[in-house]
Structure 1
Amino acid sequence: MVEMIVMVELVDKNDIELIPQLVKLEAEAFGQGGLNEWHLVPIIRHGRVYISKKGEKVVGSVQYILDWDNPQKAYMIGVSVSPEYRGRGIGTELLKETFKALSRENIAEVELTVAPDNLAAIKVYERKLKFVVTEYRKNEYGNHQDRLVMNLSLA
């Protein structure tokens, strides 16, 4: 297998050409639950959005916000990889690189939630990234929309 060179970048300004690509990634990953431009622009301005690019094509994205009760904790809103690039380790590498960047910003912990039946994601989070399940939240996003809370120490 030929190694794929993918660059990870912080998105630090509202780029009207980039936003539609991010919205498309979100829709492919999360359908109706994906972030749209109304969500992404404030997160770019006040949180952290990182992208993976192969050449000029955006192939992955992850978004973080700070936890107001614990400013050394970042909450990972979501991570997505373009369907044609899934299964190649791009999402894992994107997360690893962003964890390094967050650590440089004095973030000591990352938290996320994931559907309990999303076994593929849970496997990656636990085995490859060393997240630990810390809580089960019933009906987090409505009836029968349960979530596992997972945490990772960056320290």
Structure 2
Amino acid sequence: MEIRIIEDFDQELLDKLVELETRTFRECGLSKWELVPLIQHGKLIVLFDDQDPVGFLELMNDWDDEDTAYLYALAIEEDYRNQGLGTKLIKSGMELLIEDGYSKASLTVDPDNEPAIHVYKDKLGFEKKKHENDVYGEGVDRYYMELDLAEYAKNKDNDFMKIAS
């Protein structure tokens, strides 16, 4: 397994990433038209098993607070779930954000997604900041969560995968 930041890509890799997006998020997955700008203007960190992408973390800058990065999406291929890979991928992303000078990371999560909330809150130290109703339509609520990266850096357990250069 290897984690890489995607900066250069070919159509084959882009197709594989779109397929992973679609399998994970169905009709809400990103298309090529959305992934390319994310690669060029955000951060796309991909977990590879050999040459196949099996997970990713999508990060972008928060325009309202330039010291905050927003975790746009996390996905792990179904056969690779429940092995701690998503947690390690996020930890690798947090290391990158610290290196890049960010002070906070934020995300949103479905209030019913208890496994994800457990990882974000209990394993990584994210705090719930607010609960908003109907964010993506009626009945589609979100918790807004935030992580102080300085606190995270003090308490981290170093159980992350180094990003390949």
Query: TM-score with structure 2 length normalisation?
Result: 0.87
Matches within 5 A, 1:17-28: 17-28=12-23
Q: Supply the distance in 2 between the matched residues of 1:35 and 1:96 (Cα, whole angstroms).
A: 23
Which secondary structure does the structure 2 equivalent of 1:113 belong to? strand
**Unaligned ranges ≥5, structure 1:** 1-5
Q: How many residues align?
A: 150
CA distance in 2, matches of 1:19, 1:129: 29
Residue among 80, 85, 107 paired with 2:80 = 85
Equivalent residue for 1:30? 25
Equivalent residue number for residue 6 of structure 2? 11
Give 1:15 deviation, angstroms: 2.4
User: Which deviates more from structure 2 when the two are superposed, residues 26-35 or residues 81-90?
Assistant: 26-35
The 2-side partners of 1:93 and 1:15 are apart by: 26
Residue of structure 1 aligned with 2:69, choices 70, 74, 90:
74
Q: Does residue 79 of structure 2 align to residue 123 of structure 1? A: no
Query: Secondary structure of 1:17's match?
Result: helix
Q: Which moved more, 1:48-57 or 1:27-36?
A: 27-36
Please say if residues 135 and 150 of structure 1, whose CA atoms lie closer than 8 Å, have aligned partners that are also in contact.
yes
- State the Cα deviation string for residues 100-142 of structure 1 (Å, max 9, x = none): 0111000111111011111111111111111111011111111
Deviations 1:58-96 (A, max 9, x none): 111011110112111011110000111011111110110
Report the residue type matching 1:72 in the other structure: D
Q: Is structure 2 residue 95 aligned with structure 1 residue 100?
A: yes
Mark the runs of 5 or more structure 2 residues left unpaired by the alignment.
151-165
User: Which residue identity is paired with 1:74?
Assistant: A
Q: 2:131 aligns with which of 132, 136, 139?
A: 136
CA contact (8 A) 1:10 1:49 kept: yes
Root mean square deviation, CA, Å:
1.0
By relative contact order (CA 8 Å, sep 6+), the higher-ranking structure is 2
Give 3-state SS (helix, strand or coil) of 2:137's partner: coil
Corresponding position of 1:3:
none
Identity in percent = 35
For the 8 Å contact 1:14–1:41, the answer to whether it is kept is no
C-alpha distance after superposition, 1:22-75 (max 9, x if no partner)? 112212221111112111100000000000112112111011110112111011
